[in-house]
Amino acid sequence: MSGNSKVHHGVPAQSLTTLKPQKLGRHHHKIPQFIKETTNKNPRLIADYFVRNYRISLELNKIEVQEQIEQAPDCMYRSAMGKVGFSIDRELLTEALECYYGGTIVPTQNTPPISTSEQRMRNRLGMDIADIFARSILSGETFGKLDSYRNDYEETSWEYVAEYRYLSHITGSLSSIYIYLDTDLVDELTSRLAGPPPARLAGNPIDHIKHLPVRLDCVVASAQMPLAQVLDLQLNDILMLRPLDRYEVRINQQKLYRGTVFEEDGALFLTSLESVNPQ
């Protein structure tokens, strides 16, 4: 393609905000803040799980929710609401494995391939932590039954990735746990955050419109004065006004009809002297 570029600003492309069509008109922006708020209310949910099951003392260092991350999830699960991804740093995974089987953690500079035991442990951690994550943001509910899922011919779109960074009091190292949420799951969470839809009234909508409250203004008297005289008005000043013979009844400054006011039994009443203007 030849010719001059139609973009004439000097802003780098990586700093531009990219609009995602699937997010337009939806409150997806509430999801990251909601995850952070629920985590801060119960910051030890995942840490307590590691203490109970693996005797590992963890302390939450920070939580971040990102839209994009280069690292793909190590495990993927499918539920009734959508797909969930899970990843865990190798250091924390090894620590959980050693503590579970009662071994000794030996620092090493080598990075051996993932063993079968590590794969089983990672899958077990993924299901358990995904369930804890769901209960924390769904007020005790879950995503439903989680089934391991893998399809090399399908590309999953991850909308958000929640990173939980923990400090281990055993090794003193920082490690992260990642929870991936796909588009379907985020849509479900967004609809739940929006609350139930308003109840739809039965019957003809025109009849409901006729019952809407409307403010009527009745002009009893009016006067025309110079601006200087208006500015000279003081508190308790009295203006001599003559009531109008016919009073205009208005809606939003628009004349509706003309009427008059009469008194009966100490109360004032307004009556119409002409048909209501439908316009």
**What is the DSSP track for 94-125?**
HHHHHHHHT------S--PPPPHHHHHHHHHH
| Overall domain count for the chain | 2
Higher-confidence residue of 108 and 172: namely 172
d(CA 119, CA 125): 10
Of 223, 81, 92, 221, whose CA–CA distance to 147 is shortest?
81
Q: Are residues 225 and 184 in the same domain?
A: no
Torsion angles phi and psi, residue 138, rounded to 5:
-115, 20
- Helical segments of 164-204, H only: 183-194
Q: Are residues 185 and 231 in the same domain?
A: no
Question: Which pLDDT tens digit goes with each residue over 63-110?
Answer: 999 987 888 899 999 999 999 999 999 999 999 988 888 755 544 545
Q: pTM surpassing 0.85?
A: no
Report the share of the chain in percent with pLDDT over 70.
Answer: 84
Burial class (CB in 10 A: 0-12, 13-18, 19+), 69: middle
Domain with 119, as residue range(s), is 23-194
Which residues have a Cβ under 8 Å from the Cβ of 14 and sit 6 or more positions away? Answer: none
d(CA 162, CA 34): 11
| Domain end position, chosen among 194, 222, 257 | 194
Q: Give me the CATH number covering residue 220.
A: 2.30.330.10
Q: Give me the CATH number covering residue 146.
A: 3.40.1550.10
Q: Where are the beta strands (DSSP E) in the chain?
A: 58-66, 75-78, 83-88, 147-148, 158-168, 174-182, 217-219, 247-251, 254-264, 267-272
Q: Are residues 224 and 101 in the same domain?
A: no
Give Cα 71 to chain centroid, integer Å: 25
Q: Are residues 83 and 189 in the same domain?
A: yes
Kindly state the greatest CA–CA separation across the chain: 101
Question: Which pLDDT tens digit goes with each residue over 116-169?
Answer: 889 999 999 999 999 999 999 998 899 999 999 987 777 888 989 999 999 999
